[in-house]
Amino acid sequence: MTAAELLAASGRFPIAPGLSETELSGIESEFRFTFAPDHRDFLAAGLPTGVGWPDWRSPDRSALRAALTAPVEGVLFDVAENDFWYEGWGPAFGDRLATARAGLMIAPRMIPLYAHRYLPAAIAGHPVLSIYQTDVISYGVDLTDWLHREFGIGEPAQRRSRPTVPFWSALAN
């Protein structure tokens, strides 16, 4: 059973008709990213709605923009307020925020899945990450395992998987 089928069968959330190819392509064009294939399939099979789920069909795009920028903004907050520094950005001197912002511009874009759970853009089969500022946790080896961990739906994965997405995986604990 796919992750979308598991979620629908659980009855935990209202499921709207899935996003069409035209809608998915429009979102990708508007926000300049490509959904990972598994994320795309999940949203095409049925669109979960309600508190925590991104409303990809909303005409008010402000919540989507906030969810898409939250991972980067959270890291920048920790740079400014909590003395966070990622050694991959080089020595921490000069305008630290500008250096961090430049480093984050080349990190893969994180796409909201639910609340502060994310999947990287375009990378198939990546673990779901919980991202809150620089607190990054692998929250499921795939969408099905994430549903089990997040909502108690389905069975846990029988395999382990480490995040591999550049930058974000370095923060994962």
Q: For residue 167, is pLDDT > 90?
A: yes
Give the residue from 5, 37, 66, 41 showing the smallest Cα distance to 124: 37
Determine the Cα angle at 28 with ends 41 and 146, to 5°. 40
110 touches 123 (CB < 8 A): no
Collapsing DSSP states into helix, strand and coil, what is residue 22?
A: helix
At 160, the pLDDT band (50, 70, 90 cuts) reads confident
Chain segment 43-74, per-residue pLDDT in tens? 999 999 999 999 999 999 999 999 999 999 99
DSSP string, 118-163: EEETT-TTPPPEEEETTEEEE--SSHHHHHHHHH--S---SS----
Mean pLDDT value of segment 2-11? 94
Chain segment 76-126, per-residue pLDDT in tens? 999 999 999 999 999 998 999 999 999 999 999 999 999 999 999 999 999
At 6, the pLDDT band (50, 70, 90 cuts) reads very high
The pLDDT value recorded for residue 163 is 92
Tokens 């990809």 -> residue: 56
- pLDDT, greater one: 162 or 54: 54
Q: How far, in Å, are 47, 157, 158 from residue 22 at the CA level? A: 14, 32, 35
Mean pLDDT value of segment 150-162? 89
Q: Is the pTM of this model over 0.85?
A: yes
Q: How far, in Å, are 72, 84, 120, 168 from residue 109 at the CA level? A: 9, 20, 6, 10
Q: For residue 154, is pLDDT > 90?
A: no
The pLDDT value recorded for residue 155 is 84
Q: For residue 137, is pLDDT > 90?
A: yes
